Amino acid sequence: MAVRPTSRSRNRTQRGNALLELALFSTALFLLLFGVADFARIFHSSEIVAGAARAGAQFGLLSAADSADLAGMKQAALNNGPAGMQATAERYCQCPSTGKRVSCTASCEGSAPNGYVHVTTELPFDTLIRWPGIPGSQTLKGAAILRVY
């Protein structure tokens, strides 16, 4: 004759199962939430870095004199980004027919070269949690190239 569990021992077993299920589910839920939070932080930070590069390049478009002001473009990018970001700026010219970089005073087969400003930005980024297979520290990069003339 088999002994059937009483309702009291059955309730105790169900409570133990519920506690175990809660522990497993909450661990998975927290990992999912931290993963979403890290992804959102990376996405938001990369958008800020790219926007700062665009702001620096747009500063170079204000006038012909501003396109030669590399320090001004760099500072405009840094002003539009978070602390710890680095920026570089350059101005160059390119022949429209060949695509080769040339001096901005050179002639390209009888035509003037196209002038460009190029601003790059970099920001170190650390994730909230060390995820397997994903580096915990990354460098987010942004770049903007705009034609001046």
* Mean pLDDT value across residues 79-89: 96
* Domain span at 100: 8-147
The pLDDT value given to residue 26: 93
Q: What are phi and psi of 60, to 5 degrees?
A: -70, -15
The pLDDT value given to residue 84: 94
Separation CA 58–CA 80 (nearest Å)? 12
pLDDT category of residue 83 using cuts at 50, 70 and 90: very high
Contact in structure between 125 and 139 (CB atoms under 8 Å): yes
Domain assignment of residue 1, yes or no: no
Q: Say yes or no to pLDDT of 3 above 80.
A: no
Residue 3: both structure tokens together:
């002994």
Domain assignment of residue 2, yes or no: no
Q: What is the count of structural domains for the chain?
A: 1
Q: pLDDT tens, 110-123?
A: 888 999 999 999 99
Query: Does the model's pTM come out above 0.95?
Result: no
Domain assignment of residue 128, yes or no: yes
The pLDDT value given to residue 7: 56
The pLDDT value given to residue 93: 92
Give the bridge partners for 108, in sequence order: 111
Separation CA 38–CA 46 (nearest Å)? 12
Q: With CA atoms as reference, report the closest residue to 86 among 149, 139, 40, 145.
A: 139
Contact in structure between 140 and 49 (CB atoms under 8 Å): yes
The pLDDT value given to residue 130: 87
